[in-house]
Amino acid sequence: MTRVVLITGCDEGIGRRAARAFADADWTVYATGLDEGALNPLEDDGCETAVLDVTDVDAGSVVDDVVKEAGRLDCLVNNAGVGHVGAVEETEAEDVAELFEVNVVGMHRLTKAALPHLRDSEIGRVVNLSSVVGRYPLPGMAAYTASKFAVEGWTEALRGELEPFGVDAILVEPGVVGTGFVDDLFSELEDRADEGGRYADLYRMLNYWLPDLADLGGDADETAETIVRAASAPKPRERYPVGMQGRALVLGGHLPPWARDAGWRVARDVSRVFGK
């Protein structure tokens, strides 16, 4: 029987590529997102589409609609997310709340709705999109970093809860992937640097280095293929780092603490110099 996957955040970037990759792998794909017009081309690739806002308190009803139509649900991919640039001192509490509402609370809404159906599947997978910054904090992006740390911890706890039911909770951890999402971050960094202020040099430094990191972070297609691999593996791993950057940073987690933290100590020292 054809496996069924529901993916959030398919308007562009990784979500869009993942929908196509699942379709190419002969899954029945339900691709969701905010923009109906952006989703329509995925129907030509064999995907079913639906408008979904993960911040809507009734977002879980889309899961029930999928199961009613397809008869089953085998995998949920929580890909929808938003970014944020700004030093803590220059970030409003409302911005942090909005970020967590999408990146963490929205993930919870969809997962809660999907779990009763995933327990009925022979494979049962929840695949959550994290990031290398979910393991290693990045100055100037504290709110976004914190949301990805939350995704990591939430998924680890969920994994323990679901083990008795044969449902897997999996993390995919790309580096800085060159998509429209990241282009927006670059643009915001440039705007904040141009505004001046105490942290302007920190934003300039980030805007200078992040494009180079994107070259090492793996691309959207590689990330999409990794998501499909995680969803399809008979015995999936707990984590799937993506790209040279992702693999290098995640492997660093097995190094002694002094070696693992060396690069970030340098980043912090540089930010102190620029932040004076």
Residues forming the active site: 144
- Of 146, 149, 206, 152, the C-alpha closest to 176 is 206
* Single-letter amino acid code for the residue at 229: R
Distance of CA 16 to the CA centre of its chain: 13
Residue 244 CB coordination number (10 Å):
14
Q: How far apart are CA 27 and CA 89, in angstroms?
A: 46
Taking the C-alpha atoms of residue 275 and residue 249, their distance in angstroms, rounded to an integer, is 25
Task: Count CB-CB contacts under 10 A for residue 101.
Answer: 15
Distance CA 58, CA 21 (A): 28
Whether residue 69 contacts residue 59, with contact meaning beta carbons closer than 8 Å, is answered with no
End-to-end CA distance of the chain: give it in Å, rounded: 62
